[in-house]
Amino acid sequence: MKIIGNWPFWIIVAISLIVIFVVGNILVFSTLKWDMVENNYYDKELKYQLHIDMVKRFSGLKDSLRIIKSGKLLTFSFPKDFLGKSVSGKINFYKPSGAELDFSIPIDLNDSLNQFFNFDRQLGLWIVKLDWKAGDSTYYFEQEIRF
């Protein structure tokens, strides 16, 4: 009796290979790190219209906000539209490759509407998200930066 020509043998081999493949995938995918982009994304989805309004208000300004990178120094240069207004808010640094690296700093502008920040974090792609209030209006701006 030959094993090579024995069809029940090949059925057992095929089923065994499928089981090994499935178990292997379960083991590999269970060890991967799955970070969500946002933790409370359902709540944020409901507030998305407010976000759209903030972006529209920002795009209606005469000047644009500029983020200038010089080595590891970031300069946030706000539009002249905000001269004489009290500006408050946050600058969020979002790292797509790891949620544990995300951080934020408060907006603290000098008299010429600039804020300086010495970036001493992990290199790579960062998304800088600014969310601020000036007077009675709120604004939003974001930009990708590579270090």
C-alpha of 138 from chain center: 21
Instruction: Return per-residue pLDDT of the chain as tens, 147 residues.
Output: 566 678 888 899 999 999 999 999 999 998 887 776 667 777 777 788 888 999 999 999 888 899 999 988 999 999 998 988 899 999 999 998 888 899 999 999 999 999 999 998 888 999 999 999 998 899 999 999 998
- Per-residue exposure over 93-123, b if at least 16 CB sit within 10 Å of its own CB, e if not: bbbeeeeeebeeeebebeeebebebebeeee
Residues 13 and 74 in one domain: no
Query: How far apart are the C-alpha atoms of 25 and 55, rounded to whole Å?
Result: 42
> Both 127 and 72 in a single domain?
yes
Domain ranges, residue 3:
1-32
Strand, coil or helix: what is 120? coil
Residues 1, 64, single domain; the answer is no
